[in-house]
Amino acid sequence: MLTFTLRRLLLAIPTLLFISLIIFLLVDLAPGSPMSEIPLTVPPEVRQKMIAALGADQPVFVRYILWLRQFFWVEPAYLLDGWFGTDLAGDQQRILSWQSRSPVFTVIGQRIPQTLTVIGTAYLVGILIAVPIGIYSAYRQYSLFDQLGTFVAMIGFSVPTFFTGTLFIIIFAVWLGWFPTKYDTTLEVTDWASFIRQMQQMAMPVMVLGLANAAAISRYMRSSMLENMGQDYVRTARAKGMTERTVVLKHVLRNSMIPVVTVIALGIPSIFGGAIITENLFGVNGIGAALIGAIHASDLPMVQTLAFIFAVLIVGFNLIADILYGFLDPRIRYD
């Protein structure tokens, strides 16, 4: 398993380098300019100077090499400096956002907490809702519960989050006044009252995303359960005189979880990716909002760095999913 992991990690390096180049070129070729948001009142000469000050007028390969150096050398050096008080980075240039002129990693650092709390909670809530629903729907296939579950899942799938989000805002914020519509990222949970406020502001985005996540995962769970439910070993378990609980929750569920856990693991990078629409709608201002904002502003360093981090996460979680699979399914062995 260790050699497998190491080999996969080694293989990932050229893959990721290649991906980073592709992303860089794609982002660079994408239409738009960092200056497109500048009002027309700014004269062209000034625009030119601003572009030059950003370094955006350099040839693409110069910028790519610079970015590589910054990403793989300067930024880690800064990180180490921050941890150990060393001075590896010196005063080398970090990756700066064109939009805010602040280091991209500072922005990411500021945004990770709310993305993880909100989107992560939504994912967790989604799983917690989806798994029991999936199990029960499969156990009672075609029952009223199952039909209802299918219906709700269809809604969760097909209704876009901006719609459910807006609906929730109108119901829970405008009519009922229970929850705020704008997430306060500066809120610190220090006591019970602030905890309650945190819960209130998380409620709607978590519900919206949780619903969407639950829809997908419950379907996976259901079909995986159904697939296993008809297997002979389940009949064996029944023949052994095991209780229905044991049969379903131990035999069927444990086997059904194998693909579901993989799907869940593969979905985790998307947590980091944030949820562009939901974040924007509720003002969560996590990574997703940062990405879309950066795309709109043609903030190349930000888009490039975020896209690359997602690529790393995706490759990483693919590996994790594979390893998990090996752990969960004794039939799979990597050597």
Partner 1 sequence: MRDTQAAPLVQVEGLKMYFPVHTGILRRHTGNVKAVDDVSFAIHQGETLGLVGESGCGKSTVGRALLRLYEPTAGRVVIDGEDIATLSHEALRRKRPTMQMVFQDPQASLNPRMSLSAIIAEPLTEHTKLTAAQRQNRVYELMDQVGLNRRFANRFPHEFSGGQRQRIGIARALALNPKLIVCDEPIAALDVSIQAQVVNLLEDLQDTLGLTYLFISHDLSMVRHIADRVAVMYLGRIVELSPRDDLYARPLHPYAEALLSAVNEPDPDRAKTRKRILLKGDLPSPANPPVGCNFCTRCPKVFARCLTEKPALVQVEPGRQVACHLFETIHPATGSTGGSEAKEHLQHGVTQ
Partner 2 sequence: MKLNSALLGAACAFAIAPAAFAERGTDGEVKLTFPQAVSIMNPYLSSGTKDIYAASMVIEPLAGFDDSGNLIPKLVSEIPTVENGGISEDLTSITWKLIPGLLWSDGSPVTSADVVFTGQYCMDPAGGCAQLSKFEGVASIEAVDETSIKVTFTGPKPNPYTAFVGATAPILQKAQFEACIGAAAPTCTDQNSMPVGTGAFKVTGFTVNDTVSMEANSNYRDPAKPAFATAVIKGGGDAEGSARAVMETGEFDYAWNTQIPPDSQAAMAAAGKGQFVVAFGTLVERLEMNMTNPSADLPEGERSTAMHPHPFLTDINVRTALSMAIDRDILREVGYGAGGKPTCNIVPAPAAYASDNTACLTQDIEGAKALLEASGWTDTDGDGIRDKDGAKLSILYQSTVNPIRQDFQALIKDWWSEIGVETELKAIDPGVFFGGDAGSPDTFQKFYADVEMYANNFDGTDPEAYLTQYKCDKAPSPENQWQGENMNRFCDPAYDAMVTELSSTRDPAKRAEMAKALNDMVTKDTRIVIPLVHRGTLSAHSNALGGVMINAWDTEMWNVADWFRVK
Contact residues: partner 2, CB under 8 A = 31-33, 35-47, 49-54, 93, 96-97, 99-103, 106-107, 110-111, 169, 173-174, 177, 180-182, 184-186, 279-283, 285, 289-290, 293, 296-298
Q: At 129, phi and psi to the nearest 5?
A: -75, -45
The string over 211-232, giving b where at least 16 C-beta atoms fall within 10 Å of a residue's C-beta and e elsewhere, is bbbbbbbbbbbbbbbbebbeee
Residue 296 in the binding site for partner 1 (CB under 8 A) = no
In the complex with partner 2, the residue whose CB is nearer, 104 or 211, is: 104
* Nearest distance in Å: CB 329, partner 1: 7
Encoded one letter per residue, x for contact with partner 1 by CB under 8 A and - for no contact, window 224-243 reads -------xxx-xxxxxxxxx
Residue 103, strand partner residues: 96
* Nearest distance in Å: CB 131, partner 1: 17
In the complex with partner 1, the residue whose CB is nearer, 15 or 231, is: 231
In the complex with partner 1, the residue whose CB is nearer, 92 or 236, is: 236
Residue 15 in the binding site for partner 1 (CB under 8 A) = no
Q: Residue from 106, 166, 246, 318 that binds partner 1 (CB under 8 A)? A: 246
> Residues with Cβ < 8 Å from 152, sequence gap 6 or more?
215
Cβ atoms of residues 283 and 186 within 8 Å: no
* Nearest distance in Å: CB 34, partner 2: 9
Closest to 25 measured CA to CA, from 53, 71, 58, 63: 63
Positions 103 through 162 that interact with partner 1 (CB under 8 A):
142
Spatial separation of the C-alpha atoms in residues 280 and 158, rounded to whole Å: 20
Question: What tokens were used for 294?
Answer: 């950066």
